[in-house]
Amino acid sequence: MKITSFVLFACMVVCSSVVTAKEVEIHSLNAVSDKAIQQALDLKLDENTQWWNLLNYRRDFFFWKRSQADSPLFFLSSNPWSPREELIATIRGIFNPNLTRKSPDNALDERVQCFFPGRFLWLQRNLKDIQWPDIKCQRFDNFKGIMSTRSVTYVFSSYYLDNPSSAYGHSFLRLNRADEAKGDKKYELIDFGVGYTAVPTTASTALYALMGVAGFFPGRFETNPYYFKVREYNDFENRDLWEYDLDFNQDEIDLLVAHIFELDAGGFKYVYFTENCAYRILAILDTVRPSLNLIKRTKIDVIPGDSLMLVAETPGFVKSLHYRPSGRAIFLARQATLNEEQQRAFVQFMSDENVDRLIAGRSEVERQNLLDTAMDYIDYVFADDVLKNKGKVQLKKQILIKRSEVNLVSASLAVPTPERAAPSTAHGSARWSIGYLSKNSTDLATIGHRFALHDLLDPVAGYLAGSEIEMFNFNFTWDIDQSHRFQLDNFHLLQIASLSPRDIINKSLSWKVSLSLSRHYQDNCTQDCLPVIGGGGVGWAKEYNRMLVSLWVKGALAYSSQFVGEKGIFGL
């Protein structure tokens, strides 16, 4: 009995000492936490621009501060409207060993500093005399190790009219494993591309456009090997990539990587003309270096091309520019090395796909040039077949077999950088206009505004030659002499044109589409008539000494309830 009592007493003493030790540890953590919070508030870190940027706080239309992150997982406080309360909750959470969250795959219980490594790194740098908990973060440590980022590049993918979501270009970051560009394009393929894209919930093109403009799609940050991006943009969509190396030091790069990691929890929405790919990339850059102030320098509508120009025009921010040609550019450069007779033979090959006829009776050098051109042609026109091992992949295998029989090594093809096509040299997307108009003996002053982007009469530098894409183009008139009436004269919701110059290789037709409201001044309508007009056409274009000449067959349908007689008018 006495032994039992002694054992119980000993157990009570030990258990009591264990509880006391735990309480002491928690008390110690709370004390350090209180000290860190007091220092942070004394330094006014809750008012610091970089803290706001980490939380994606912005002044809204009514000048209220709020975060653009929609997910409650992005916040630790019960009041996501308060940067101060979020700062306090973050510091307390870092010192609270019982506060954890599930990783996205539900495999790990993660502490606050593991879920928000960007915030934690920033606090460590601003509160240097605080003894922070030493916690291993498996998921973030793996991410950081895989990235191994030593430099950062801003990448712009050129305009692509065949896809509405890419018609204005696309921006993303490349996280490089080397301090400087190696000059070897293959080496860069193992770097990582980080971009922001919409997650569509519809397959309808019309609904996609409407929902994207209205912000009904969720957005998602994607991190993929750079060769995925090259395959998607360079090869599949034949878009040139323009790579702008940024001047970030290693401390800034470390914060950039940590912030990108924690943005997954943000639950941001994707808005086509505002909170889009370019906006989110600028927000990341502002977070890393607040003095850039890129977001505040944007217009109401955020166009990827305009955003790139903000980056490129920031003094000392861009170290160098590199051009990665598309599959189309590579093929055209290769095709240009053929003489006129070889080009005619190649056109015949494009028609009959007879490899033996293409190289019959030719010298080894001629066979080399023609077969190299044929491979680039297959990669350009049938990239999807090659990737999915179908269709024209058998033709490419035939070409490769014939090429292996030519005992010559091809030199690297030098595709010249089209300096005038660099998107950072382009004009701004918005445009104001004033003018004079005389209709039906009425003198009218006009004023107009185009939100975006480019028409055929604009300077071509930085844009696809022969391309036009305009949206939200308003034009108003004011009657100078009579009624002094101010009214809408026309509104072009959408106007797209693609002029494709025909040559010995390219036989594509040009095309255009438009949708607008345009005031009707003809006899079958009053001056107040504003019909809806939808139009389109196909054409033939040819380039002569840098002048583009085109012939068109166009049609349009106009409808207005105020038309006299037929309410719908169709014409060619």
- For position 443, what pLDDT does the model report? 84
Q: Quote the CA–CA distance of 345 and 410 in Å, as a whole number.
A: 20
Concatenated DSSP letters of 231-295:
IIIIIIS---EEEEEE---HHHHHHHHHHHHHGGGS--EE-TTSSSHHHHHHHHHHHH-GGG-TG
Residue linked to tokens 């994707």: 270
Q: Quote the CA–CA distance of 235 and 271 in Å, as a whole number.
A: 27
| φ, ψ of residue 475 in degrees (nearest 5) | -140, 125
**Is 62:81 a contact under the CB 8 Å cutoff?**
no
CA dihedral 215, 221, 227, 232 (to 10 degrees): -10
3-state secondary structure of 114: helix
Residue linked to tokens 């790990």: 108
The two tokens of residue 320 are: 């160098």
Alpha helices in 43-82 (DSSP H): 49-54
Residue linked to tokens 């939100």: 451
Distance in Å from the first CA to the final CA of the chain = 111
- For position 233, what pLDDT does the model report? 87
Residue linked to tokens 């066979």: 367
Closest to 457 (Cα-Cα) out of 431, 476, 491, 435: 431
Q: Quote the CA–CA distance of 196 and 172 in Å, as a whole number.
A: 7
**Is 193:150 a contact under the CB 8 Å cutoff?**
no
Q: Quote the CA–CA distance of 150 and 166 in Å, as a whole number.
A: 29
Closest to 127 (Cα-Cα) out of 199, 55, 33, 219: 33
- For position 460, what pLDDT does the model report? 84
Q: Quote the CA–CA distance of 427 and 53 in Å, as a whole number.
A: 29
**Is 127:41 a contact under the CB 8 Å cutoff?**
no
Q: Quote the CA–CA distance of 558 and 283 in Å, as a whole number.
A: 43
Each residue's pLDDT, cut to its tens digit, for the chain (572 residues) gives 444 444 444 444 444 444 565 566 666 777 889 999 999 999 999 999 999 999 999 876 556 678 999 999 999 998 888 999 999 999 999 999 999 998 888 888 999 999 999 999 999 999 999 999 999 999 999 999 999 999 999 999 988 776 666 778 899 999 999 765 555 555 678 899 999 999 888 877 778 778 888 888 999 999 999 998 888 888 888 889 999 999 999 999 999 999 999 998 889 999 988 899 999 999 999 999 999 999 999 988 888 999 999 999 999 999 999 999 998 899 999 999 999 999 999 999 999 999 999 999 999 999 999 999 999 999 988 888 888 889 999 999 999 999 999 999 988 888 988 888 899 998 888 889 999 888 777 788 999 999 888 888 888 888 888 888 888 899 999 888 777 788 888 899 889 898 888 877 777 889 999 999 988 766 667 657 888 999 999 999 988 877 888 899 999 998 888 887 788 888 87
3-state secondary structure of 207: helix
The two tokens of residue 303 are: 């166009």
Dihedral over Cα of 351, 356, 362, 365: its sign: positive
The residues near 439 (Cβ < 8 Å, ≥ 6 apart) are: 521
